[in-house]
Amino acid sequence: MMYKIAVFPGDGVGPEVTREAVKIVRRVAQLFHLGFEMKEALIGGASIDKFGAPLTPETLKLAKESDCVFLGAVGGPAWESVPYEKRPEQALLTLRQELGAFANVRPARVFPGLAGTSPLKKEVVEGTDLVVVRELTGGIYFGKPKGIEKLTSGEEKGVNTEVYTTSEIRRIAEKAFQLARRRRRKVTSVDKANVLESSLLWRRVVSEVGKNYPDVTLGHLYVDNCAMQLVRNPRQFDVILTSNLFGDILSDEAAVVTGSIGMLPSASLGNHHAIYEPVHGSAPDIAGRNQANPLAAILSVAMMLESTFQLYEVARAVERAVESVLLAGYRTADIHQEGANLIGCSEMGDWVASRISG
Ligand code: IPM
Ligand code: MG
């Protein structure tokens, strides 16, 4: 049995953290006698520089032929003046849509011993353990009409459209409820139903789906209130279910609240494909200096082992190794605290690899 992974390191710190993720895949392959076939390709800015496009048909084909994609990060200041359709970010959006990766799962938790790295008070964040389930292939990111048009007055008009259909809402809601069943059985659906019709439908459909999960508590929050609750009392949340745009914003907020944005993994799941990537971006300011935190990438490997390959024990072994390295006091710069042992990206990968046990 060969598990096929398409590996797209991307830009900025992407290649550095991906290297450590690959190290972990090789280590578990050896320890647990598993076969992984990893094929690499360029994506984002790196692909623009070489091929003139952020996602080539060959790269997309590789993604579709693999069991899943592992991605580092895309984007950076070098490509900010490139036309919109050719930006590195476009690669990500196309990949999500082409692979049908409609469910973005972003766990945000405070790791033991790391509450002090949050910008919020330790007492507020300690024990936070939530997951944002973000709809990823619909909403205002893809809705039509869209574009910038010239008006006869000489003015220009920029348009994007927030659209959701019943089936799109239903399938993401199902994901959230199923996930909640494996956690603390609480779903908070986030919308703007006091203003937007698409949100009104969202709320109605989520409530209907919720009836099939009587064991899961469902609540609804307006997005502005949710943004506030996340900093007031993040511990109240278990699964946050929301739209593409709201999820983009709230998942960054949730990540920084935990004090460990360099630690947070993500999965973008479809019915037949999946993309795993760290939540942090390409961090061009520290790229190429061996300073990035590879733990988000490594924990994304754990999510991949679990969700795509159903290797639950192996996934746990990787997570336990990460916790053990943190407990032993090893830290990259982003999570460094007084008295801890400051190490670089590749050393962190080595430590985690050495602590995985079967
Ligand atoms: C994310 C990112 C992307 C998004 C960008 C890079 C297109 O912010 O994954 O959250 O907006 O979805
Ligand atoms: Mg984002």
Rounded to two decimals, what is the model's pTM?
A: 0.96
Instruction: Kindly tell me if the per-residue pLDDT of 195 is higher than 90.
Output: yes
Residue 118 is predicted with a pLDDT of 93
Q: Which ligand has the nearest atom to the CA of 96?
A: 1
Cα(108) to ligand 2 centroid in Å equals 14
Residue-averaged pLDDT of the chain:
96
Sorting pLDDT into bands at 50, 70 and 90, what band is 179? Answer: very high
203-212 long-range contacts (CB < 8 A, ≥24 apart) are 205/166, 205/169, 205/170, 205/173, 206/169, 206/173, 206/241, 208/170, 209/170, 209/173, 209/174, 209/177, 210/173, 210/177, 212/177
Report which ligand 1 atom has the smallest distance to the Cα of 244: 12
Distance 132 CA to ligand 2 centre (A): 12
- In angstroms, the CA 41 to CA 29 distance is 21
pLDDT for residue 105 is more than 90:
yes
Q: Whose CA is nearest to atom 11 of ligand 1?
A: 248
Partnered with residue 221 across adjacent β-strands are 190
**Is residue 260 pLDDT above 80, yes or no?**
no
pLDDT digits (tens, 9 = 90+) for 334-356: 999 889 999 999 999 999 999 99
Is the pLDDT confidence value at 196 over 90?
yes
Report which secondary-structure segment, H or E, holds 83.
Answer: none
Which percentage of the chain shows pLDDT scores above 70? 100
Cβ of 89 below 6 Å from ligand 1: yes
Q: Is the CB of 129 under 6 A from ligand 1?
A: no
- 193-213: average pLDDT: 98
C-alpha to C-alpha distance for 147 and 159, rounded to whole angstroms: 5
Is the predicted pLDDT of residue 113 greater than 90, yes or no?
A: no
Residue 125 binned pLDDT confidence (cut-offs 50, 70, 90): very high
Task: Provide the annotated active-site residues.
Answer: 141, 192, 224, 248, 252
Q: Rounded distance, CA 337 to CA 334, Å? A: 9
Which one is predicted more confidently, 42 or 111?
42
Query: Which ligand 1 atom sits nearest the alpha carbon of residue 252?
Result: 10
Look at residue 278 in the predicted model and tell me its pLDDT.
Answer: 96
**CA of 244 relative to ligand 2 center, distance in Å:** 10
Contact 132 CB / ligand 1 (< 6 Å):
no
SS3 label, residue 51: helix
pLDDT at residue 213 above 90? yes
Instruction: Give the pLDDT of residue 358.
Output: 79
Burial per residue of 11-46, b for 16 or more beta-carbon CB atoms within 10 angstroms, e otherwise? bbbbbbbbbbbbbbbebbeeeeebebebebbbbbbb
Ligand 2 centroid to residue 252 C-alpha, Å? 6
pLDDT at 145: 97
